[in-house]
Structure 1
Amino acid sequence: MFRYDGKTFVPQSNSSNGEVSVGTVFQYRQDGNILTGTYQGGSIVSGVLVGTVNENGTLHFRYHHVSKDGSMRSGSCNSTPNQLDNGKIQLFEKWKWMDGDQSDGESVIVEQ
């Protein structure tokens, strides 16, 4: 089973309508099947997420953040894990904004 508690992730790629960038860092915590996290960096001043971890390690969560321009954004995300040869976790994410244009996108983040 994939465990996320205490893990740090950084972006590898993101859709053009996303706000996560190279400077963004995610800190995850896990208690049972509950996932929480914080993220910041790049154009994001402060962000939080909360969700669940399924038995196969997939994540389902909602996220909220404040950007450097003062705007607040929120969305939902489903992440599928992949174990890399070096033992690190890579997450393939499908997300959707819950505000603004409600567009969706895809991103990849990897454990640091």
Structure 2
Amino acid sequence: MKFNLNNRKFKLLENSGNGEVSNQTIFHYFQKDGMIWANYSGGVIIKGFLLGKVLEESLEFNYQHMNENMELLTGECKSIVQVNENNKIKLLEQWTWTCGDFSSGSSVLIEI
């Protein structure tokens, strides 16, 4: 494995218009062997969780969160992991809502 997400924090760099994550949302990741999980909140998101697995150079996970309208939203995501020369990580994400309009989008998260 070329990366470890344990105890790393991320924020949004860009997102599709149908996403709820904003530049106020902070993701706190954890990793144990091939399993990842994270807590996230900020902006319209009150509390969120994700759980998934590490593949060769990517992540695959499901997520759920509650927004400030008390809506429970769920989705799935595949992320390509990029590590720069300073060992900072960027996540290039392709996600799909598994509720609501079932639309898809993309986002980029950067390590803070």
Bin the TM-score by the shorter chain: over 0.9
Secondary structure at 2:101 match in 1: coil
Task: Name structure 2 gaps, 5 residues minimum.
Answer: none
2:101 corresponds to which residue?
101
2:71 corresponds to which residue?
71
How many residues align structurally? 111
- What amino acid does structure 2 have at the position aligned with 1:9? F
After TM superposition, the structure 1 = structure 2 runs for residues 6-21 of structure 1, keeping only pairs within 5 Å, are: 6-21=7-22
What percent of counterpart residues are identical?
39
1:42 corresponds to which residue?
43
User: What is the alpha-carbon distance in structure 2 between the residues aligned to residue 8 and residue 20 of structure 1?
Assistant: 14
Normalising by structure 1, report the TM-score.
Answer: 0.96
Moved over 3 A (4+): none
Normalising by structure 2, report the TM-score.
Answer: 0.96
Task: Name structure 1 gaps, 5 residues minimum.
Answer: none
1:51-70 superposed Cα distances (whole Å, 9 cap, x missing partner): 000132x0000000000111
Within the alignment, does 1:81 sit opposite 2:76 as a pair?
A: no
